[in-house]
Amino acid sequence: MTAFSLNPDQTARCAELRTLAAERLRPLAEKGDPGHVNRPLVAALGELGLLDRLFTSGALDLCLMRESLAYVCTEAETALALQGLGAHPVHAHGTPAQRERWLPQVRKGHAVAAFALSEPGAGSDAAALALAAAPDGASGDWRLTGEKCWISNAPEADFYTVFARTSPDAGARGVTAFLVPADRAGLTGTPLDMLSPHPIGTLVFDAVRVGPDDVLGEVDRGFRVAMTTLNRFRPSVGAFAVGMAQAALDAALTHTAEREAFGGKLKDLQAVGHQIAEMAVRTEAARLMVYAAASAYDAGASGIARRAAMAKLLATETAQYVVDAAVQLHGARALRRGHLLEHLYREVRAPRIYEGASEVQRSIIAKELLG
């Protein structure tokens, strides 16, 4: 297998997953309440074995899952991705006790995870986070005080991977990752009314007690936990974007082949044909870069941060372009509530911001190239 082609088994698995998404997952997604965790949908992902694959397969398989789900049901894709993002630090850095307590429930779709990194004053600049972990006497415990914001699955998750400052004025070197159950005293949350349909909220920590048994990885090494998680998931954000772009492209192909305009089919106008060609070229280029970045991650190649940033940047910017172009080709019908492109137009905007905005990806790429 190369980074530029899929083998027959991979192609067949993608087709099977698109069918499962259409038949099993999309009906559950349509019954969900926007802005809230769709627990039946999460449970179905567990029953189908997809949540287990978050921890047993490589970055490329994760990308193929996210692309396939996004093509058919973005809600299912997002539910899968958020489980992975929130629980991967436990899988990769947790203690045996932490893994035993939470990961079986995540795999089954019975426990909802969340990744709590962003703050009102520290979004893409993760090293600037201010949630304070103050020592609590001689017990080795800390008290978390502060706020997290724009946290997906908050405030309805069952546990949070939380990044807090254990060493003041130490930048990225003074951050520790904690596993914080949602029922911990002093932890409250409020939902935010956002453009995307999945739940996003704020978390308030009012002297929330955490101890050594809650640390993920090492004290003051939490920034590494965050970055290794993001390096794994950033290419798959690109895969999510590619799935949406392909759905928009296919919708445009169908519409322009059927729509009568100016005495013929819309697709026969040269301007339309050139637009479709540009959409297809950009989508395929983004797909190949995503696959290449994920394959490099799986192979343990060098330059993972740069490759992951490139894949996320190109794919998310491409998806925004392709969805917008598809809307333009459809005209006003694409803006009706409930139309596929109206849905994709709302969904496609956020990936250019979360897990590092496009400008941050460019900074990562420049830093890697320029040293």
Active site residue 119: no
Its sign, for the CA torsion 26, 45, 184, 137, is negative
* Beta-carbon count within 10 A of 332 CB: 8
Nearest to 93 by CA among 215, 216, 180, 181: 216
Q: Which of 77, 317, 347, 355 is catalytic?
A: 355
Contact 293, 361 (CB under 8 A): no
Enter the tokens of residue 167: 């060493």
Nearest to 119 by CA among 134, 104, 136, 131: 131
Residue bearing tokens 């955490």: 210
- Angle (deg, nearest 10), helices 59-72 and 270-299: 150
Q: Which secondary-structure segment (H or E) carries 222?
A: helix 222-258
CA angle 283, 288, 294 (to 5 degrees): 125
Q: Among all residues, which ones are annotated catalytic?
A: 355
